[in-house]
């Protein structure tokens, strides 16, 4: 009897609590719009944050309850935007396709090392040692944190530098978030050229550590008839809104650091 009484007491308490929870679940539940789950089902599930929200769940909730734009899912593209618009009865808005580009051209042939790094084989770990193992402190470290972050197999390390396959890239931005040096930019897929360098050192310093770095000579800036290229702090940058992809900047760049955004990651090495 001494043992049975506590057991019976706990069982009764558990049963009462169960009944109370069932009642609370029925009468205190917050109504959920079924469209939230419908929208969530058509989203790709990348949870990349390219839409500006924490993940697909939050974006789905905001689409239904806050009326945010239906074309913010970059990985899903136009097909996903159309499905969302159909579910919500909203007008379809086109999605601007985007891709990632790596702003570094320092392959093993163009640059060298300043240390024999023996630590964990990740960019995040290596960057804590004088901003990396390379002689250029702005350069790609080549351990592939970006590769691990990509869910689409669109990026790989070739000859020491990360390269993006434009045909596979969805522009989700996960690789850009994973790069501790912020070398990866997300640009419109319609942009055919980009500056493959991130160094803001003076030209003479850049030349000493990498033969494929921007030296701030401004030849590209002068050659562009559309005002799309500016050189600031020794580094050229391209405004995709103004760029016409004419290729003049590519032709005049003495270090060939302005590159054509080719499809194949392997082909990009020679770009």
Structural domain boundaries of the chain?
Answer: 34-88, 98-270
Give 216-221 contacts, CB < 8 A, sequence gap 24+. 217/254, 219/252, 219/253, 219/254, 220/248, 220/249, 220/252, 220/253, 220/258
Q: List per-residue pLDDT tens for the chain, 271 residues long.
A: 566 666 666 676 777 767 667 776 666 555 667 999 999 999 999 899 999 999 999 999 999 999 999 999 999 999 999 999 999 999 998 999 999 999 999 999 999 999 999 999 999 999 998 889 999 999 999 999 999 999 999 999 999 999 999 999 999 999 999 999 999 999 999 999 999 999 999 999 999 999 999 999 999 999 999 999 999 999 999 999 999 999 999 999 999 999 998 654 333 333 3
Question: Are 48 and 172 within 8 A, CB to CB?
Answer: yes
CATH class for the region spanning 34-88: mainly alpha
Question: Are 79 and 172 within 8 A, CB to CB?
Answer: no
Question: Are 73 and 164 within 8 A, CB to CB?
Answer: no
The whole-model pTM stands at: 0.80
Please report, to the nearest 10 degrees, the dihedral formed by the alpha carbons of residues 146, 148, 152, 155 taken in order: 40
Longest dimension (CA), the chain: 96
Q: Cβ neighbours of residue 116 under 8 Å, at least 6 residues apart?
A: 133
CA 70 to chain CA centroid, Å, is: 20
98-270 is classed CATH 3.30.1490.20: no
């Amino acid at each position: 009897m001494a043992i049975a009484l506590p057991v019976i007491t706990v069982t009764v308490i558990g049963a009462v609590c169960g009944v109370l929870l069932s009642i609370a679940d029925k009468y205190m539940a917050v109504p959920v719009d079924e469209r939230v789950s419908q929208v969530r089902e058509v989203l790709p599930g990348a949870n990349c944050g390219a839409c500006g929200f924490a993940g697909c769940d939050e974006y789905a909730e905001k689409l239904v309850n806050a009326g945010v734009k239906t074309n913010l899912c970059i990985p899903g593209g136009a097909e996903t935007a159309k499905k969302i618009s159909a579910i919500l009865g909203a007008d379809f808005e086109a999605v601007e396709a985007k891709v990632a580009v790596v702003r570094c051209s320092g392959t093993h042939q163009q640059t060298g090392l300043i240390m024999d790094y023996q630590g964990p084989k990740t960019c995040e770990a290596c960057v804590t040692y004088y901003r990396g193992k390379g002689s250029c402190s702005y350069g790609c470290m080549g351990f592939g944190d970006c590769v691990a972050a990509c869910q689409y197999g669109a990026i790989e390390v070739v000859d020491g530098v990360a390269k993006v396959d434009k045909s596979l890239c969805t522009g989700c931005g996960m690789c850009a978030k994973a790069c501790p040096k912020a070398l990866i930019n997300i640009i419109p897929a319609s942009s055919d050229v980009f500056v493959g360098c991130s160094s803001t050192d003076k030209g003479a310093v850049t030349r000493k550590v990498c033969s494929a770095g921007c030296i701030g000579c401004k030849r590209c800036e002068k050659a562009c008839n559309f005002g799309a290229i500016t050189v600031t702090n020794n580094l050229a940058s391209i405004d995709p809104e103004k760029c016409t992809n004419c290729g003049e900047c590519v032709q005049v760049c003495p270090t060939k650091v302005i590159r054509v955004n080719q499809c194949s990651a392997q082909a990009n090495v020679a770009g």
